[in-house]
Structure 1
Amino acid sequence: MHAILGAHGISVSSDFFLWSQGPLQALLPHAILVCAQLGADGSVLRSEAWHSAVLDPVQLRDINDTRDGQVARLAQAWRAGGQKAVVIGQVLVHGNVVAGGGSFFALFCTSLPDPARQAYVLELLLPYLHLHWLALQDRVRLPMAGPAASRAASARELEVLHWVSIGKSNEEVGQILGISGGTVKSHLQRIYKLFGVSNRTQAVSRGLALRLLSH
């Protein structure tokens, strides 16, 4: 719960880094966390490594290369193995496939004392990794015209949209996130304006189309 609640404040890259090196690191110790965006065919479109130690640039290129790098090979093995949280060598991997693409995460670990438990924890945290990494305001921009394209959806807005997408009312979302139903409504109004839609159903459909939500 500490890791999940700690993810709520993520809005920029530095927030994500601190979360990955704090609450996430406490649950899933790792030397390197690699986050990758997947294309419709499952290929790695881009990847980014998060780490506190200084790494050799050659090593980073070998990890991040979208065609022949370690993450590309790991993503291929993960897909072939049934897309489950699993340990491949010393790397804990899992991903989230949505319409038109998805995300993939690889944690390069120095030790794996309990691989089954660590895979289970990664499965629990996967929605938050997916949501907040793709929502980073300095990394993701919504592909649409008009003034709304000048900013990305915030992490809080995407949290609200996530709970709305699974049928929660404004009051229920407020209870989950620790805010009022009126505040949830305000977040939804901003989402409507940002997405260029007029209701909850359209907002959820738009979020799915933009790969900001999973099915």
Structure 2
Amino acid sequence: MEQLVILSNLEQEYLLHAIEAVLQVQGARQFFLWTQGQLQALLPHQVLVGLQFGAQEELQHIECLHGTVLEAGLRHRLCSPDDGLALRLARHCRTNGGRLPAMLDAGPHADPLKAGAGLAAFQGELRELGLENMLLHGSERLPGGTTFFVMFGLPHRPRPRHAYFLQLLLPYLHITLQRISRQQAQERFGTLTRPVSAREAEILHWVREGKSNEEIGIILSISGLTVKNHLQRLYRLLGVSNRAQAVARAIALQLFDRIPLLLARAA
């Protein structure tokens, strides 16, 4: 990825159009149209998978975009939230510290030694799926969540200039996926039946930090049993059944963005 990339006039035009258009994207439908229009002009591909992770590395959202009918089995193998190829690629790169952006060619004449980010182990699977190559990139760990994107099935062997295009577009992809994920979560969950109290907000904060009931009790000068009772009420309010789900739901509803305000009002 270190070689100098000089964009042609046409590539500069495509890149500018892609950036101008993605700034106007507000919903999933617009995002789909953008990926099949301006993005395809710059980076043609068969399937784009975007993943969003929360602060605790939990998977929050998967977006799978393709312009043609994708066989159900193939879609599942690429986009399953349990063990899909896109998810495994994201975890591989985030765990092993592979350098991003990265690309992988799995064609018949591909050289495993040239696979970036330690991706050679995925060549056989990619070839089996009939996609032959991929291009991937992801954001660094950020307070608002992390995103990761994989483009499968480029029509030609990916080159460093393709990785550079994806690198330039990553901030816009990141923001757009976060926006869509938040909108869909709010539509899915709706609004809460009552506001979260300041005490519940404090407990949610410490749950997100990985503290046990007893540790939270010590911090807040209350008993672990009282913390447990607050959590049970929070579970019912949020419509969840455990701590991880409560944190994920609170993130989706942007409750953590409002916790400092709730605590300030209670002070």
User: Which piece of structure 1 moves more, 22-31 or 89-98?
Assistant: 89-98
User: Which piece of structure 1 moves more, 97-106 or 48-57?
Assistant: 97-106
Q: Does structure 2 conserve the Cα–Cα contact (< 8 Å) formed by 1:28 and 1:118?
A: yes
Question: What does residue 32 of structure 1 align with?
Answer: 47
Gaps of 5+ in 1: 148-194, 197-204, 210-215
Structure 1 or 2, whichever has the larger Rg, is 2
Matches within 5 A, 1:128-139: 128-136=172-180, 138-139=183-184
1:8 to 5, 15, 23: 23
Matches within 5 A, 1:1-215: 1-79=16-94, 80-82=96-98, 84-89=100-105, 90-96=133-139, 97-99=141-143, 101-136=145-180, 138-141=183-186, 206=257
Gaps of 5+ in 2: 1-15, 106-132, 195-253, 261-267
Q: Does structure 1 conserve the Cα–Cα contact (< 8 Å) formed by 2:103 and 2:158?
A: no
Q: Does structure 2 conserve the Cα–Cα contact (< 8 Å) formed by 1:85 and 1:123?
A: yes
Sort the Cα spacing of 1:88 and 1:74 in 2 relative to 1 into closer, same or farther, 3 A: farther
Identity of matched residues, %: 34
State the secondary structure of the residue aligned to 2:184: coil
Residue identity matched to 1:91: M
State the secondary structure of the residue aligned to 2:98: coil
Q: Does structure 2 conserve the Cα–Cα contact (< 8 Å) formed by 1:134 and 1:140?
A: no
Sort the Cα spacing of 1:206 and 1:44 in 2 relative to 1 into closer, same or farther, 3 A: closer
Distance 2:193 2:38 in 1: 38
Residues 171-203 of structure 1, C-alpha deviations (whole Å, 9 max, x = no match)? xxxxxxxxxxxxxxxxxxxxxxxx89xxxxxxx
Distance 1:62 1:94 in 2: 19
Residue identity matched to 1:22: G
Q: Does structure 1 conserve the Cα–Cα contact (< 8 Å) formed by 2:48 and 2:150?
A: yes
Residue identity matched to 1:128: Y
Distance 1:52 1:15 in 2: 13
Q: Does structure 1 conserve the Cα–Cα contact (< 8 Å) formed by 2:52 and 2:177?
A: no
Give the C-alpha shift of residue 52 in structure 1. Answer: 1.0
User: Which piece of structure 1 moves more, 75-84 or 98-107?
Assistant: 75-84
Question: What does residue 171 of structure 1 align with?
Answer: none
Aligned length, in residue pairs:
154
Residues 130-150 of structure 1, C-alpha deviations (whole Å, 9 max, x = no match)? 111221274243999799xxx
TM-score of the superposed pair, with normalisation by structure 1? 0.61
